[in-house]
Amino acid sequence: MPPLPSELAYVPFVSVEHMMALVHHIGIETVLIDLAAEIEADFKRWDLFDKTPRVASHSDVGVIELMPTSDGEMYGFKYVNGHPKNTKEGLQTVTAFGLLAEVNSGYPKLLSEMTVLTALRTAATSAMVAKHLAPKGATTMAMIGNGAQSEFQCLAFKAICGIDTVRLFDVDSAATRKCARNLQGSGLTVVPCKTGEESMEGAQIITTCTADKQYATILTDNMIGEGVHINAIGGDCPGKTELHRDILLRSNIFVEYPEQTWVEGEIQQLEKDHPITEIWQVITGQTEGRRTDKEITLFDSVGFAIEDFSALRYISKAIVGTEFFTQLDMLADPDDPRDLFGMLQRSAS
C-alpha cells in the first residue's frame, strides 16, 4: 500500500453542489453583502495587487479567458468562458472555476467551482459600485437580459442598494418568466415588461446583462433620461457591446481596470483620450463619483481578476469548520521532496 499523502498535500475543493449548499447555509443575501464588502476592501488596496488584463483566447463562437492576480500573499486565477450560442445547445453561456494559492510556497490552497461564484461576485460588484454612483434613494431597477446572471443582480441590488422593484425585459419572454418566477418570495416587486423602453419607466438604475457576440444596441440614447445609473454587464469582449455610443458621450464613465476595459468594455467604441474614472479611486475617496442629480453615471463592467480573488478568499474562509468541501489529492507529496521518482516506483508495489 503506497503511503497516504499528508494533510498538507490535500487541496480543499468546492464543487457546484457544495457551493450551493454553502450559499444556502449562509443565506444568499448575506453572501452578496459579504462578497461586496470583501471586494470593496480589496479595491481599497488596489496598489498592492499585481494586475494584468485577462488572457483571452477568442474563437468565432466565444472566448476562453484566464484571469490572474496576486496581493503578494495569495495568488488567484479564474478560468472562464463566454459563449452566447451555448444556451441554445443546453449549455451555460458562462462557466468558470478558480484556484487560490499561497505565494510563499506556491502551493494551492483552494480549488473551487466559479460558475455560481461568478454570478454572485458580479452581482456583488455591480451593487457595491452602484452604492457609490447611483442616485440617492433609488428604489427601482430595470433589468434587461433575464438569463443566468439576472436574479443574482436583482437580489444584490435589493440587499446592498435597497432596491425594492425590478422591471424585467428580455427578447425571450421565457427568460423573463423564469426570472420573475425565481424572484417570487424574494421581497422584490417584480414587473415583467414587453419592451426595453417599458422596463425603464421610473427606473433610477438600469442594468444591461445580455449575451450576443456583436456590437448590439440594447440601449439607444433616446431611452436614457437624466440622472440614472447604468450598470452595463454584458459588453465584455472585443466586438461585444450593449450601449449606443451616444449614451457613452453623455455619461460619466467608471471602469475597473482601464487596460482591460479599453479592449473589452463599452468604451472600445470611444477615442482612447476620452475621460474615464477608475472605480477604486471613487471607493478610496480620491475622486468624486456622482457629482450632480442630473448626470448619467455608467459602470462599464467587464469583470476583473481582483473580484474573483476576493471571492475565492471569502470562500476559503467560509468553508473552514464546515462540510462544504472535499479534500483533493492533487499535490505530489514524497517523504523526501527530491525523491519524486522513488515515490512513483514505490506506488507500483
Which residue among 35, 39, 133, 175 contacts ligand NAD (CB under 6 A)? 175
- 65 scored as a contact of ligand NAD (CB under 6 A): no
Give me the catalytic one of 34, 164, 170, 236: 236
Q: Which residues contact 265 (CB under 8 A, 6 or more apart)?
A: 232, 235, 236, 241, 255, 300, 301, 302
- 168 scored as a contact of ligand NAD (CB under 6 A): no
Stretch that binds ligand NAD, among 106-114, 187-195, 228-236, 286-294 (CB under 6 A): 228-236
- 87 scored as a contact of ligand NAD (CB under 6 A): yes
CB-wise, 11 or 315, nearer to ligand NAD? 315
Look at residue 190 and give its three-state secondary structure. strand
- 69 scored as a contact of ligand NAD (CB under 6 A): no
- 98 scored as a contact of ligand NAD (CB under 6 A): no
- 171 scored as a contact of ligand NAD (CB under 6 A): yes
Q: Which three cell numbers stand for residue 326?
A: 472535499
- 96 scored as a contact of ligand NAD (CB under 6 A): no
CB-wise, 11 or 39, nearer to ligand NAD? 39
Which residue among 110, 209, 219, 243 contacts ligand NAD (CB under 6 A)? 209
Which residue among 11, 19, 35, 94 contacts ligand NAD (CB under 6 A)? 94
- DSSP E strand boundaries for the chain: 10-14, 55-58, 63-70, 74-82, 96-102, 108-113, 140-144, 165-169, 189-192, 205-208, 215-219, 229-232, 241-243, 251-255, 277-278, 296-300, 326-329
- 310 scored as a contact of ligand NAD (CB under 6 A): no
236 is catalytic: yes
CB-wise, 242 or 295, nearer to ligand NAD? 242
Which residues, 4 to 33, sit near ligand NAD by CB under 6 A? none
Which residues, 129 to 158, sit near ligand NAD by CB under 6 A? 144-149
Stretch that binds ligand NAD, among 41-49, 66-74, 87-95, 290-298 (CB under 6 A): 87-95
Q: Which residues contact 114 (CB under 8 A, 6 or more apart)?
A: 78, 79, 80, 96, 97, 98, 308, 311, 312
- 93 scored as a contact of ligand NAD (CB under 6 A): yes
State the nearest-atom distance from the C-beta of 87 to ligand NAD, in Å. 5
- Amino acid making up residue 78: K
Stretch that binds ligand NAD, among 4-12, 30-38, 68-76, 206-214 (CB under 6 A): 206-214
- Amino acid making up residue 91: L
Q: How far is CA 91 from the centre of its chain?
A: 19
Q: Which three cell numbers stand for residue 269?
A: 467604441
Which residue among 69, 112, 140, 210 contacts ligand NAD (CB under 6 A)? 210
- 233 scored as a contact of ligand NAD (CB under 6 A): yes
Strands 205-208 and 140-144: parallel
Whether the Cβ atoms of residue 204 and residue 134 lie closer than 8 Å to each other: yes
Nearest to 233 by CA among 283, 133, 295, 302: 302
- Grid cell 510563499 in the structure block, residue: 104
CB-wise, 18 or 83, nearer to ligand NAD? 83
Count of residues engaged in binding ligand NAD, rule: CB under 6 A: 28
- Amino acid making up residue 29: E
Whether the Cβ atoms of residue 23 and residue 31 lie closer than 8 Å to each other: yes
- Amino acid making up residue 236: D
Sites of contact with ligand NAD (CB under 6 A) = 82, 87, 93-94, 118, 122, 144-149, 170-172, 175, 209-212, 216, 218, 233-234, 236, 301-303
Catalytic residue positions?
Answer: 236
